[in-house]
Structure 1
């Protein structure tokens, strides 16, 4: 399985990769624009991402906009819907609702993300069997 980490903070990228590398082939990008490009390329190559961990607050294109664009691409390109978990330092109910209801997120984690919370979320969305 493939995973894409979308995170502008170096330490968060490194920690998330260490959590996922035993379960997924992991790619990393640093903003929403790169996430859209990586997602599109992976789908075109016939190797779509099963999981995307997407930070919400990033430069260039934020995570919510990137999420909405990826959901449109899935329909246009007729690829299976990826599980997309949004991550944010903000525990703001408005942001959570927007991620789920408008963007179609699969999950939401508040940073800092720890391994136990991440694995519980992966299990909840069907990407990890415990």
Structure 2
């Protein structure tokens, strides 16, 4: 599984990477613009990401705008049979407005920090993206 983690807080990105690296290759970026660029590059290479984890509060482009950009790119490429990644918002923001906007823009799950490895794994299982030997 190919995983993109967009998180500007280094301890948070480290923890998320440690949780997820047992399931696949993790790419770390620190802002939304880099996340969109990594997403586009992965499509050009013909691989794509299976999972994208986005923080909301990031420099250059926040997580909601990043989510919106990624989903717009996917919409344009719909006829190219590119796989659509599952997108999880992983953030400390638990206000209803942020949650609503994230789902409105196309996120698949919303995970509030701090979270546990078990809660993350439960989210991955719910999204049916864990490799078969992990379930």
Which band: TM-score by shorter chain?
over 0.9
Consecutive unaligned residues in structure 1, runs of 5 or more: none
Alpha-carbon separation, structure 2, partners of 1:41 and 1:114: 31
Cross-structure match for 1:87:
90
| Corresponding position of 1:4 | 4
RMSD: 1.0
Name the residue aligned to 1:13: 13
Pairing 1:15-54 to 2, within 5 Å after superposition: 15-54=15-54
Q: Which range moved further: 59-68 or 77-86?
A: 77-86
Residue 118 of structure 2 corresponds to residue 111 of structure 1: no
Show CA shifts across 1:27-55 (max 9, x none).
Answer: 00000000000000001100100000100
TM-score, with length taken from structure 1: 0.95
Structure 2 distance, partners of 1:94, 1:58, is: 17
| TM-score, L = length of structure 2 | 0.92
